[in-house]
Structure 1
Amino acid sequence: MTASTLKTIVGRRLWITGLVLAIAAALVSALWLTASSQPASATIAQTASTLDTELSQDPATSDAKADAKADRTAFHAAMKAARMLKGQERVDALKKVAADAKAGKYGDRIEKRADRRADRRAAVFALLPDELQADLTKLRAMQPGDERKAYRNEIRQKALDDGYGDKVKEAAEKLKGHWRD
């Protein structure tokens, strides 16, 4: 490639870039002009009235934001307090916070989040094999203690032994190092 050819390629690219920018500027200005079909004085008056409306509604909006922030703060404080407990007290406290969240005690946004989480868990549970669903349901209904731990270990071993299918076996092998007793 020679120097004169390079100048021509660069020149063409600059010309095309300039043309594209000019077309874009023309489109933006055309859209802007068609959007403001009223005279400038009306636009200024509308802007002033819109500003007044926004300023008058701002405290209500800030109150809603403050309420939502207070709800989140209360939810996080309750979760933190529940997580500091040990054993069955912790389980019961976490269940209570979750139930309160679903009931709307911590506001609409946290209630919706709790509902979405429950829906996701139900969808994932529905994907499990029927036999595993039955065993997990039975495990959840059992009282905490040695019997429940033994049944949980039976489920884990059955999963590792391909009792629930290949996919469950693969998942069990991947999770094996993360299981707590």
Structure 2
Amino acid sequence: MTFDQLELKSITTDDLSAVVELDQACFGGLWTLDAYQREIDSPNSVLLGLFAPLSTVNLLAMGCFWSILEEAHITILAVHPRYQGQGLGQAILYFLLKAAYELGLERATLEVRVSNKAAISLYQKFGFKTAGQRRRYYKDNDEDALILWLGNIQYPEFPDSLEKLRIKMSDRLKLYSWSIVDC
């Protein structure tokens, strides 16, 4: 079996058109080109992408978090609609948490639409717990957001947990003939 290679890399200004395209496909234009440029320029942002050089869609998935004190606040996790369900969301989330660990951050948080059952399930697989709810958080339809929380990132057992998640993620990607090159 041959595997299509995915490249994990930090998103740069050269990738902005692909980023805006993915944002449009997933969120209908949540963030602007200027907003993504600010993320690239910010020393407190980590913005990662999974690129498929041989695919018609170049950027298949992306994720972003803000480093705020000891916290990785995940702001974006997007997988191109054509490639959802293939483990790419797991891959991006894994690499975001790995980056948070390497930066010495202690916990991760995020908001997710209460109706986004697939995303909630993904986050729960990674150990996120519900910490609360923000009423009418999403302005497009006044939908509530769940606040999800993952603590203990700097605990001694976290690297083992991360490794188990990496193995699960790799196995899932292989089912769809993907392999990752960590650039």
TM range (shorter): under 0.3
Question: Which of structures 1 and 2 has the larger relative contact order (alpha carbons within 8 angstroms, sep 6+)?
Answer: 2
Larger C-alpha radius of gyration, 1 or 2? 1
Greater strand share, structure number: 2
Q: Which has the larger helix fraction?
A: 1
